[in-house]
């Protein structure tokens, strides 16, 4: 009986002219945790989608060990084949039906379609047995919509295990979890690997990769560039493998904070749900200062961001920008008051994808006489402006006249940075500014924010990535249930507990 449970042989996949994967081979051993690392667009998700049958490889083959341990070729391009071969996948975005309970979600799809009776008892017994060995507890009778994110993720994993998965693929499993929840997840995974489960997990977070994997494989530009046992790896080595060069850590010089640029006094926002409301929040941000707002998503970050961008009206309280009270904030009013806004969802709120890069660069300053004369666009000025900014901010792509949606995620963010920073804003709202960006682009965002701080701007940095906040922010507040709590000393473990609401 061989020890190898999965072998990918020279997988390649091309989308049009873009090579997503080239000749990638990997093996996975029984009971092993393999971390798959790489920058955004390195081809991690494509590779896993080929394994799971969502994509058909252009070349290469996959072998999966059967229950007896012998490797058999897998029918490619069929998720059903992957499922029956014992491959389970948990996507970054959950695929659960929110209106039915966890047990029904788990059994959904593995029951015969035309059957009048369901054997709930047997299903419950099987799920109970899996919970007992794995430690993945979740309420089985509550509708999934009312479960926490961590619980939903456990339901997703239980769903895969219920289908007798022997190989589990987790796509960025900790992106939505608190540090403590993530630790619990990995403890559960460790327990399951004792029983012979093999796990591949995709992650951006070097810390957890180093802490919890047995082996690390790194992809770059669609090719496997390295593979090392975790006990021989450290952060610097892996980072170098991922980007092909050392990324400099942001240098943060000490600075004395200046005049207040943003003051929120007893500010409340009545959102549609508790998740996007704020309750009597006080906040004071000064020039030469980066204030980090840490928290798990859905605790009022979007309400805070909306009110500072001018999209939401406060229901009570007061906002002062740069010492001036704003009675009726609008997006245009905020831009005029010198607020630079980097939105959370750059595709949905940051750019109009169908319009050109040049047009997206001027969309916030359509009233400017440099951009228009008597209601008509000054097209030469707009394209010269775009060429200049694209060069200054290194926005790469098919050119400034091409639709902005053709840019990569990192270049879209650079476009937004160019639009925000060229106006020298006094206050910068950066909401999840590096989410989904590769390390190079993320480092660029950090550098620009520190540059703005040095110039005298105040930066309100909202992020779910605690490491990012710890490396950039001068002060940290934790947002929880619509309240802001001063975090005091930047201590990772304590802030994590505050995010989870276990200490105040």
Partner 1 sequence: MIRIEPRNTSSRAYAVGIPVLSACLALALAAIPLLLAGANPITAYGEMIKGVFGSVFAISEMLTRATPLIFTGLAAALAFRAKLWNIGAEGQLYLGAMAAVAIGSGVLDLPGLALIPLIIILGAAAGAAGMAVPTFLKTRFGADEVVTTLLLNFVILIFLQMMLEGPLQDPMGLGWPQSAPVLDQGMLPPLMERMRVHSGLIIALIAAGIAQFMLARSVWGFKLRAVGENAAAARHAGINVKRSLFGVAIISGGLAGLAGVSEVAGLKGYLTADLSPGFGYTGIVVAMLAGLSPAGVVIAALFIASVFVGADSMSRAMGVSSFLADLVVSMSLLCVLVGGFVAKYRIIRTNRGQATS
In the complex, the smallest distance separating the C-beta of residue 305 from partner 1, rounded to whole angstroms, is 10
**Cα–Cα distance for residue pair 477/279, rounded to 1 Å:** 15
CB closer to partner 1 out of 56 and 137: 56
Residue of 225, 307, 209 whose CA lies nearest to 266: 307
In the complex, the smallest distance separating the C-beta of residue 364 from partner 1, rounded to whole angstroms, is 5
Q: Given candidates 4, 225, 311, 470, which one binds partner 1 under the rule CB under 8 A?
A: 311
In the complex, the smallest distance separating the C-beta of residue 88 from partner 1, rounded to whole angstroms, is 17
Binding string, 363-392, against partner 1, x = CB under 8 A?
A: xx-x-----x--xxx-x-------------
By CB under 8 A, residue 77 contacts partner 1 = yes
Q: Given candidates 73, 145, 323, 488, which one binds partner 1 under the rule CB under 8 A?
A: 73
**Cα–Cα distance for residue pair 431/448, rounded to 1 Å:** 14
By CB under 8 A, residue 17 contacts partner 1 = yes
Question: Quick one: which H or E segment has residue 227?
Answer: strand 223-229
CB closer to partner 1 out of 85 and 303: 85
CB 383 within 8 A of CB 371: no
In the complex, the smallest distance separating the C-beta of residue 319 from partner 1, rounded to whole angstroms, is 17
CB closer to partner 1 out of 244 and 424: 424
In the complex, the smallest distance separating the C-beta of residue 368 from partner 1, rounded to whole angstroms, is 10
Q: Given candidates 81, 225, 255, 470, which one binds partner 1 under the rule CB under 8 A?
A: 81
In the complex, the smallest distance separating the C-beta of residue 323 from partner 1, rounded to whole angstroms, is 22
Q: Which residues pair with 27 in a beta bridge?
A: 7
CB closer to partner 1 out of 91 and 378: 378
Within positions 328 to 357, which residues make up the interface with partner 1, using CB under 8 A?
A: 330-332, 334-335, 341, 343, 348-355
Copy the structure tokens of residue 291.
């204030």
CB 271 within 8 A of CB 279: no
Pairing relationship of beta strands 71-73 and 59-65 according to DSSP bridges: antiparallel
Tokens 């993720």 — which residue? 153
CB 119 within 8 A of CB 103: no
Residue of 280, 286, 337, 285 whose CA lies nearest to 309: 337
CB closer to partner 1 out of 205 and 419: 419
Residue 406 CB burial class (10 angstroms; 0-12, 13-18, ≥19)? middle
Copy the structure tokens of residue 184.
């619990």
Query: 160 — phi, psi (to 5°)?
Result: -65, -45
By CB under 8 A, residue 15 contacts partner 1 = yes
In the complex, the smallest distance separating the C-beta of residue 17 from partner 1, rounded to whole angstroms, is 6
Q: Which residues pair with 484 in a beta bridge?
A: 479
> How many positions of this chain bind partner 1 (CB under 8 A)?
42
Copy the structure tokens of residue 429.
């709202």
**Cα–Cα distance for residue pair 174/92, rounded to 1 Å:** 9
In the complex, the smallest distance separating the C-beta of residue 326 from partner 1, rounded to whole angstroms, is 14
DSSP characters over 336-350: HTTEEEE-S-IIIII
In the complex, the smallest distance separating the C-beta of residue 342 from partner 1, rounded to whole angstroms, is 11
CB closer to partner 1 out of 110 and 330: 330
Tokens 């069929």 — which residue? 78
The span of 201-209, 224-232, 239-247, 305-313 binding partner 1 (CB under 8 A) equals 305-313
By CB under 8 A, residue 5 contacts partner 1 = no
Binding region for partner 1 (CB under 8 A)? 15-18, 56, 61, 72-78, 81, 85, 309-311, 330-332, 334-335, 341, 343, 348-355, 359, 363-364, 366, 372, 375-377, 379
């Amino acid at each position: 009986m061989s020890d190898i449970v999965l072998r990918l042989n020279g997988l390649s996949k091309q989308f049009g002219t873009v090579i997503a994967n080239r000749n990638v081979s990997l093996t996975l051993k029984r009971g092993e945790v393999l971390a798959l690392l790489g920058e955004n667009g390195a081809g991690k998700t494509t590779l896993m989608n080929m394994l799971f049958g969502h994509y058909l490889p252009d070349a290469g083959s996959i072998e999966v060990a059967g229950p007896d341990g012998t490797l058999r070729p897998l029918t490619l391009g069929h998720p059903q084949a992957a499922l029956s071969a014992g491959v389970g996948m948990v996507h970054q975005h959950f695929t659960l039906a929110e209106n039915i309970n966890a047990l029904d979600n788990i059994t959904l799809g593995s029951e015969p379609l035309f059957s009048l009776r369901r054997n709930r008892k047997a299903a419950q017994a099987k799920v109970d047995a899996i919970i007992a060995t794995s430690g993945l507890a979740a309420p089985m009778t509550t509708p999934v919509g009312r479960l926490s994110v961590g619980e939903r993720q456990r339901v997703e994993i239980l769903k895969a295990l219920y289908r007798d998965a022997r190989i589990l693929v987790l796509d960025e499993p900790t992106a939505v979890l608190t540090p403590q929840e993530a630790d619990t997840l990995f403890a559960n995974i460790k327990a399951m690997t004792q029983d012979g489960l093999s796990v591949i997990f995709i992650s951006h977070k070097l810390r957890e990769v180093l802490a919890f994997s047995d082996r690390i494989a790194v992809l770059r530009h669609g090719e496997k560039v390295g593979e090392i046992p975790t006990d021989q790896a450290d952060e610097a080595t892996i980072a170098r493998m991922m980007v092909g060069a050392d990324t400099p850590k942001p240098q943060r010089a000490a600075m004395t904070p200046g005049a207040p640029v943003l003051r929120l006094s007893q500010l409340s926002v009545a959102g549609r749900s508790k998740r996007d409301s704020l309750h009597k929040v006080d906040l004071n941000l000064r020039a030469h200062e980066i204030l980090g707002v840490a928290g798990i998503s859905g605790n009022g970050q979007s309400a805070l961001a909306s009110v500072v961008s001018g999209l939401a009206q406060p229901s009570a309280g007061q906002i002062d920008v740069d010492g001036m009270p704003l009675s009726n904030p609008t997006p245009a009013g905020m831009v005029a008051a010198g607020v630079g806004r980097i939105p959370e969802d750059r595709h949905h709120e940051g750019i109009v994808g169908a319009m050109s890069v040049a047009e997206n660069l001027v969309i916030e300053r359509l009233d400017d006489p440099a951009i228009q004369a008597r209601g008509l666009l000054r097209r030469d000025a707009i394209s010269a402006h775009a060429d200049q900014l694209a060069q200054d901010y290194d926005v790469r792509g098919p050119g400034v006249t091409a639709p902005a949606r053709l840019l990569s995620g990192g270049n879209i963010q650079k476009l937004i940075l160019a639009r925000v920073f060229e106006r020298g804003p006094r206050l910068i709202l950066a909401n999840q500014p590096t989410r989904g960006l590769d390390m190079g682009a993320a480092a660029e965002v950090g550098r620009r924010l520190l540059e703005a701080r040095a110039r005298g701007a105040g930066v309100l940095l909202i992020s779910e990535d605690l490491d990012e906040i710890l490396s950039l922010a001068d002060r940290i507040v934790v947002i929880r249930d619509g309240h802001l709590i001063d975090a005091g000393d930047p201590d990772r473990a304590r802030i994590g507990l505050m995010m989870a609401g276990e200490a105040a």
